[in-house]
Amino acid sequence: MTPGLEGKVGLVTGGTSGIGRAAAVLLAKAGVKVVVAGRRDPEGKETIELVREAGTDGLFVRADVSKASEIDTLIQKTVERFGRLDVAFNNAGIEGAWVPIIRQSEEDWDRTIDINLKGVWLCLKYEIRQMVKQGGGGAIVNMASITGLVGSAGAAAYCASKHGVIGLTKAAALENARSGIRINAVCPGAIETPMAQRLFGLPAVHKYVLGCHPIGRFGRPAEVAEAVVWLCSDRASFMTGHSLVLDGGFLAGQNSPS
């Protein structure tokens, strides 16, 4: 078992596929009872079956992270079922429309920011309240991206949302450090997920993006999940306010000669 996680209660938003599902299963293997939140019931229930196969109990709650009332209810249902909340992975997110700013609609901007940034803020708000109510202590991981550290032409809303998550993570970590609540973020490069398939599915685009990753491949959801579980565990007990990059060397090569 991973130190400090056995018997804990965890929450994963956006846990219906990809990195969220991988994290939910890996947390379960570490002994965590897992609540999975998402907007797709069949996929959410599939994740819970995998959680139970991994050896712990789980609960799926349908929730839209951009709505305060639904996050409030999500935390309430978590506590009603398992009694507390110890760790959380705020993973839910969308890519939005990757188009130049002059072609981006206000509706798309609002939806991307609402889910990717406001959604993380709402989750933090209610998760931290519950952890403080319990007496403090806990670990939260937010989903950022390497696009939270660099720009990407045609992805203004997405980049803005992920830059925001990194700033939000730092502020929340400082506010709650003395309460024993550690708050960090993960910043993946391109990962083999449905989102990546939508964004980089065309052969020419896939080839270009792959070439930006010196390691020579896209990451796997399980590789990001391993980092999430580590950040939630006692092994990362001195880490807070940090953004952990998992990008196959992408950022290391940003200033290299072409």
**Among all residues, which ones are annotated catalytic?**
158
Phi first, then psi, for residue 28 (nearest 5°) are -60, -40
Give the separation between CA 37 and CA 45, rounded to whole angstroms: 10
Q: What is the dihedral of CA 47, 19, 77, 44, to 10 degrees?
A: -30
Q: In what order do the strands lie in the sheet with 58-62?
A: 58-62, 33-38, 9-13, 87-90, 138-143, 181-188, 243-246
Give the separation between CA 204 and CA 172, rounded to whole angstroms: 40
What amino acid is encoded at 202 in this protein?
L
- List the structure tokens of 25: 């299963």
First to last CA, the chain: 45
